[in-house]
């Protein structure tokens, strides 16, 4: 059976590429839009639970609409779900990503001007001009220039990116500096480095590389997987993960963490992303 997280079918309308593969009442090519809100929850159903969060500037294919909600598939990782249609705007070029763990949108190029919203790591924007140390977006808002990096300049060390989120509260399905979960910590770090990455830990375990042989010494940048959990290896003796034990993104000694988590699951994979 197709994974509903990655199958663009709302129950009423499916993407046209699924014709001949599933039985759907209607098919569509969809409409490409981008998220204009700072972020949005991606829901299992129009009034359902959060599966993930989508960040400002994400490119989305709108497949269905109902009651002010849009059923979308995210271009970056293929994840499907519902979010408010009002959070979307026209498709447009993006030039920069937020490379700080978080930043603020301002109403003017002045740090004392009222902030409009907060943006998180990997949010994307179109920059059209600069005044002083502020960069102007295509909708006339302003961001500190030092918090932005051109899209064409990815980060090089995903663990360093993940470390910038130390102390972030744990939030199931969260993908922002206000709260994130274990798979978001992995996805945010790899996406900042220009590397593809699915949204959930089971999908990441299947996609990010071959399993290393048992007893392979861990090194910085490796990933360890358990049933329903994933962690970065920060150094041979330490992991970094967003976890419900501390309810935060935190370091933990490797062997004690393995022993603690083994009460629920042994390590299922040791992967070195390519």
Same domain flag for 144 and 163: no
Residue that is last in its domain, among 45, 69, 90: 90
Same domain flag for 137 and 167: no
Same domain flag for 118 and 66: no
Same domain flag for 163 and 261: yes
CATH number at residue 35: 2.30.30.40
Same domain flag for 31 and 109: no
Same domain flag for 218 and 117: no
Quick one: pLDDT at residue 160? 98
Computed over its alpha carbons, how large is the radius of gyration of the chain? Answer: 19
**Residue 1 located in a structural domain:** no
Average pLDDT over residues 262-273: 97
**Residue 2 located in a structural domain:** no
Same domain flag for 165 and 248: yes
**Residue 5 located in a structural domain:** no
Residue that is last in its domain, among 150, 169, 186: 150
Quick one: pLDDT at residue 2? 86
**Residue 116 located in a structural domain:** yes
**Residue 8 located in a structural domain:** no
Residue that is last in its domain, among 51, 75, 90: 90
Q: β-pairing, 80-84 with 69-74?
A: antiparallel
Residue 51: phi, psi to the nearest 5?
-100, -45
Quick one: pLDDT at residue 91? 97
**Residue 7 located in a structural domain:** no
Same domain flag for 218 and 244: yes
Average pLDDT over residues 183-205: 98
**Residue 59 located in a structural domain:** yes
Same domain flag for 177 and 257: yes
Q: What is the pLDDT of residues 21-39, one digit of tens each?
A: 999 999 999 999 999 999 9
**Residue 3 located in a structural domain:** no
Work out the burial of residue 178: count CB atoms within 10 Å of its CB; fewer than 13 is exposed, 13-18 middle, 19 or more buried.
middle
Structural domain for 233, as ranges: 158-271
Quick one: pLDDT at residue 118? 98
Query: For residues 60 and 78, what is the distance between their CA atoms, to the nearest angstrom?
Result: 9
Same domain flag for 127 and 202: no
Average pLDDT over residues 92-99: 97
Q: How many domains does the chain have?
A: 3
Same domain flag for 177 and 247: yes
Q: What is the pLDDT of residues 138-152, one digit of tens each?
A: 999 999 999 999 999
Quick one: pLDDT at residue 1? 52
Q: What is the pLDDT of residues 227-248, one digit of tens each?
A: 999 999 999 999 999 999 999 9
Same domain flag for 22 and 76: yes
């Amino acid at each position: 059976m197709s994974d509903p997280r990655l199958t663009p079918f709302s129950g009423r309308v499916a993407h046209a590429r699924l014709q001949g593969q599933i039985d759907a009442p209607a098919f569509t090519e969809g409409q490409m839009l981008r998220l204009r809100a700072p972020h949005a929850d991606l829901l299992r159903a129009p009034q359902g639970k959060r599966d993930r969060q989508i960040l400002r500037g994400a490119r989305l294919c709108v497949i269905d609409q109902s009651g002010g909600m849009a059923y979308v598939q995210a271009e970056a990782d293929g994840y499907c779900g519902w979010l408010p249609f009002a959070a979307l705007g026209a498709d447009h070029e993006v030039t920069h990503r937020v490379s700080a763990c978080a930043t603020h949108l301002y109403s003017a190029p002045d740090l004392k001007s009222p902030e409009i919203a907060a943006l998180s790591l990997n949010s994307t924007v179109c920059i059209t001009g600069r005044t002083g140390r502020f960069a102007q977006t295509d909708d006339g808002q302003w961001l500190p220039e030092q918090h932005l990096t051109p899209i064409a300049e990815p980060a090089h060390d995903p663990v360093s990116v993940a470390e910038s989120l130390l102390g972030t509260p744990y939030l199931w399905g969260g993908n922002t500096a206000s709260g994130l979960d274990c798979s978001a910590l992995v996805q945010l770090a790899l996406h900042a480095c220009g590397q593809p990455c699915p949204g959930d830990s089971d999908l990441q375990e299947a996609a990010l590389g071959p399993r290393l042989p048992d007893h392979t010494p861990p090194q910085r940048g490796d990933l360890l997987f358990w049933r329903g959990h994933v962690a970065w290896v920060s150094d041979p003796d330490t992991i970094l993960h967003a976890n419900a034990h501390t309810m935060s993104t935190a370091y933990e000694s490797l062997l004690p963490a393995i022993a603690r988590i083994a009460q629920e699951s042994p390590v299922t994979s040791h992967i070195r992303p390519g």
